[in-house]
Structure 1
Amino acid sequence: MTRAEIHHRHRDVTGGWLRPAVFGVMDGLVSNASLIAGVVGGGAGAKTVTVAGLAGLAAGAFSMATGEYTSVRSQSEMTLAEIAVERLEIARNPQAEEDELAALYESRGLTPELAREVARQLHSRDDVAWRVHAREELGVDPDDLPSPWLAAGSSFVAFSIGALVPVLPFLFGFTSVVAAIVLTALGLAGTGAVVGRLTSRSPLASGARQLLLGAAAAAVTFGIGHLVGATLT
Structure 2
Amino acid sequence: MGSNRADVRRYRRNHRAEVDGAALYRAMADAEENAELAKVYRDLAAVEERHAGFWARRLTAAGQPEPAARPSARVRVLRVLARRFGAEVLVPLVASEEARGRRMYDDQPETSETSMRSDERSHAFLLGEIRNGASGGALARLEGRHRTPGGNALRAAVLGANDGLLSNLSLVLGVAGSGVASGTVLLAGLAGLLAGAFSMALGEWVSVQSSRELAQRQLDIEADEIAALPDEEVEELRLIYQAKGVPEEEATALAKRLMEDPDNALDVMAREELGIDPDERGGNPWTAALASFLLFSVGAVIPVLPFFWLPTLAAVLVSGLAGAAGLFALGAATTLFTGRGVLLAGLRQMVLGLLAAGVTYGLGALLGVSLGL
1-structure distance, mates of 2:271, 2:348 = 36
2-structure distance, mates of 1:217, 1:140 = 40
Shift of the 37–193 alpha-carbon distance from structure 1 to 2, 3 Å rule, reads: same
2-structure distance, mates of 1:211, 1:128 = 52
2-structure distance, mates of 1:134, 1:205 = 43
- The amino acid across from 1:41 in the alignment is G
Greater alpha carbon shift after TM alignment, 14-23 vs 49-58: 14-23
Note if contact 2:160-2:295 (Cα within 8 Å) is conserved in structure 1: yes
2-structure distance, mates of 1:206, 1:100 = 46
Match of 2:343 among 190, 204, 211: 204
Note if contact 1:33-1:218 (Cα within 8 Å) is conserved in structure 2: yes
Aligned-residue CA RMSD in angstroms? 2.2
The offset of 1:20, in angstroms, is 4.7
- The amino acid across from 1:16 in the alignment is R
Aligned to 1:185: 324
TM-score, L = length of structure 1: 0.87
Runs of at least 4 residues off by over 6 Å: none
- The amino acid across from 2:232 in the alignment is A
Aligned to 1:166: 303
- The amino acid across from 1:11 in the alignment is E
Shift of the 31–91 alpha-carbon distance from structure 1 to 2, 3 Å rule, reads: same
Aligned to 1:100: 236
2-structure distance, mates of 1:51, 1:42 = 14
- The amino acid across from 1:201 in the alignment is G
- Equivalent residues in 2 for 1:73-222 (5 A)? 73-144=209-280, 145-176=282-313, 177-197=316-336, 199=337, 201-202=339-340, 203-222=342-361
Aligned to 1:55: 191
Shift of the 96–48 alpha-carbon distance from structure 1 to 2, 3 Å rule, reads: same
Greater alpha carbon shift after TM alignment, 135-144 vs 150-159: 135-144
Residue by residue over 1:180-232, the C-alpha shift from the partner in whole angstroms, topping out at 9 and shown as x without a partner, is: 001111112223333433x3734434433432332232133223323333433
Aligned to 2:73: none
- The amino acid across from 1:122 in the alignment is L
2-structure distance, mates of 1:223, 1:86 = 57
Greater alpha carbon shift after TM alignment, 18-27 vs 99-108: 18-27
Count residues in correspondence.
227
Could you tell me which runs of 5 or more consecutive residues in structure 1 were left unpaired when the two chains were aligned. 1-5
Q: Is structure 2 residue 16 aligned with structure 1 residue 16?
A: no
Note if contact 2:201-2:289 (Cα within 8 Å) is conserved in structure 1: yes
- The amino acid across from 1:182 in the alignment is L
- The amino acid across from 1:98 in the alignment is V
- Equivalent residues in 2 for 1:25-64 (5 A)? 25-64=161-200
Shift of the 216–86 alpha-carbon distance from structure 1 to 2, 3 Å rule, reads: farther
The offset of 1:43, in angstroms, is 2.8
- The amino acid across from 2:302 in the alignment is V
Greater alpha carbon shift after TM alignment, 68-77 vs 15-24: 15-24
The offset of 1:115, in angstroms, is 2.0
Greater alpha carbon shift after TM alignment, 138-147 vs 164-173: 138-147
2-structure distance, mates of 1:36, 1:91 = 59
Considering Cα pairs closer than 8 Å and 6+ residues apart, tell me whether 1 or 2 has the greater RCO. 1
Aligned to 1:225: 364
TM-score, L = length of structure 2: 0.56
Note if contact 2:162-2:296 (Cα within 8 Å) is conserved in structure 1: yes
Shift of the 46–154 alpha-carbon distance from structure 1 to 2, 3 Å rule, reads: same
Aligned to 2:206: 70
